Amino acid sequence: MLADEGITLAATEYQTDSATLIAATDSDAARLVELASEYYSNTYSVRRSGAAVTISMLAAAEDEERDGAIRQALQIIRNRVDEYGVAEPTIQRLGLAGDRILIQLPGVQNPERVKSLLSNTALLELKLVEAGPLPTRQALLDAQGEVPVGSEILEADPRDGRAVGFYLVRSAPLITGRDLKTAGLGQDELGLPSVSFTLNTEGSRKFSAATGANVGRQMAIVLDDKVRTAPVIEERISTPQAQIAGQFTTQEAQDLALVLRSGALPASVEYLFQRYVGPSLGQESIDQGVMAAVIGLVIVAGFMLVYYKGSGFNALVALGLNIVIILGVMNALGATLTLPGIAGMILLIGMAVDANVLIFERIREELDIGKTVRSAVDAGFNKAFSAIIDANVTTLIAAIFLFQFGTGPVKGFAVTLSIGIMASMFTAIFVSRALFEFWIVRRSQTLSI
């Protein structure tokens, strides 16, 4: 861009939060200030001292950029954790404007692998090779004299046995990871694990044009500023499929495909603190949760038997079947019963008999006005039906919102609650009525309630 404007730079200096461009002449410096002020008026301050022009980001823009990077990193990390398959993770920002992220991953068997997945920036770029590879950076500099404008020197990834040393590549990439549509595990021409990826429509168009214009040249596949491989472009590649090879293990290829699918992090990640909670502490908490559920079940069962007498057995059968249905559905869905899930089951023990209480009280009222047992049972179920539906549907809507907008343990609680609500409606309305029908057929004149 500067060359197009006729501006020549004598040197460039980069600091942590600013860049200083030293123009060759005063007129170049004046033109540079004019351009920088035009393009960066809202986000950068431009200062000139002789031929030196310093560009630094404004404090407000820097805060906005940092906040956006943290929000983007949160979403990408959450995508990677979801792809990895962790039950009920907790991923949250510490403080409304903090730059730290808290990640809790229950049940992870290989913490180091997960750390690698989460910290991998995964910035994929395909760049044209100008020279190399040569064994050292200095050898490449000696061969070139100096690094041309618009080029840079990149080191080959030491894990790739076919790409050794250093490459001189063009700074501007042909395509980047933003042009990817998907990525997955594949095989190279030797049958070894590789990463196959598919470009989106725009990426495929750019890739086809770039390969067609550079047949016979090397193209470096660069991941996080390391050259993974540098194949020769033998012909125009018009298909959207391509692959990254380079002596991967199967797990490395799977992990790389995962982070490419989830997107590149906007900045590198630094681990500040980590702690492992052993299985003994977790098991103790689960045991206490199960004990609480058993105590709650015993108390509810005692109340139903004392207050509703023989009909209390009806409610207990429905409650037991309700628990079986919950556990069966969670197992079929591959859900994990964690502490929030156990808390949901404890809540459901009370909610499951709530529908039975409504029905039993209605049956009592019908018996008190002189109706027969069959008529009282029919009226009890029919008149309590709308109240049961209203109460359970409103709770189910709340559970759906918890699942949609909650994270980690909140989702686990919502899953258990949703399954339990639907199961309790089924057992209270259909199973309980079937048990009453069975009793009426055998002893139609009496009902213990």
Q: Is there a single domain that holds both residue 325 and residue 423? A: yes
Give the global pTM.
Answer: 0.47
CA angle 81, 83, 86 (to 5 degrees): 50
User: What pLDDT, on a 0 to 100 scale, did the predictor assign at position 191?
Assistant: 75
End-to-end alpha-carbon separation of the chain, Å? 88
The whole domain housing 335 covers 279-442
- Count other C-beta atoms under 10 Å from residue 311's C-beta: 24
For residue 304, give every residue at least 6 positions away whose Cβ sits within 8 Å of its Cβ, in sequence order, or none.
312, 315, 316, 353, 356
Residue 2 pLDDT level (bands cut at 50, 70, 90): low
Joined together, the tokens standing for residue 373 give 């047992």
* pLDDT exceeds cutoff 50 at 163: no
Q: How far is CA 130 from CA 126, 136, 148, in A?
A: 13, 16, 10
Alpha-carbon radius of gyration of the chain: 33
Q: Which residue among 262, 297, 324 closes a domain? A: 262
Joined together, the tokens standing for residue 60 give 């407000």
For residue 381, give every residue at least 6 positions away whose Cβ sits within 8 Å of its Cβ, in sequence order, or none.
359, 362, 429, 433
CB contact at 8 A, 303 and 297: no
Average pLDDT, the chain: 75
**pLDDT > 70: what percent of the chain?**
80
Q: Is there a single domain that holds both residue 85 and residue 50? A: no
Q: 168-185: per-residue pLDDT in tens?
A: 888 888 877 777 777 777
**pLDDT > 90: what percent of the chain?**
0
Q: Is there a single domain that holds both residue 324 and residue 179? A: no
Q: Is there a single domain that holds both residue 182 and residue 79? A: no
- 2 within a domain of the structure (yes/no): no
- 83 within a domain of the structure (yes/no): yes
Residue 219 backbone phi and psi in degrees, to 5: -125, 120
Which residues, listed in sequence order, are joined to residue 104 by a DSSP beta bridge? 90
User: What pLDDT, on a 0 to 100 scale, did the predictor assign at position 159?
Assistant: 58
Counted domains in the chain: 4
Q: 373-413: per-residue pLDDT in tens?
A: 788 888 888 888 888 888 888 888 888 888 877 766 677 77
Q: 250-279: per-residue pLDDT in tens?
A: 777 777 776 666 665 656 667 777 777 655
User: What pLDDT, on a 0 to 100 scale, did the predictor assign at position 160?
Assistant: 47
Q: How far is CA 26 from CA 4, 5, 48, 158, 206, in A?
A: 18, 15, 10, 45, 39
Q: 325-351: per-residue pLDDT in tens?
A: 888 887 777 666 666 777 777 777 777
The CATH number assigned to the domain holding 180 equals 3.30.1360.200
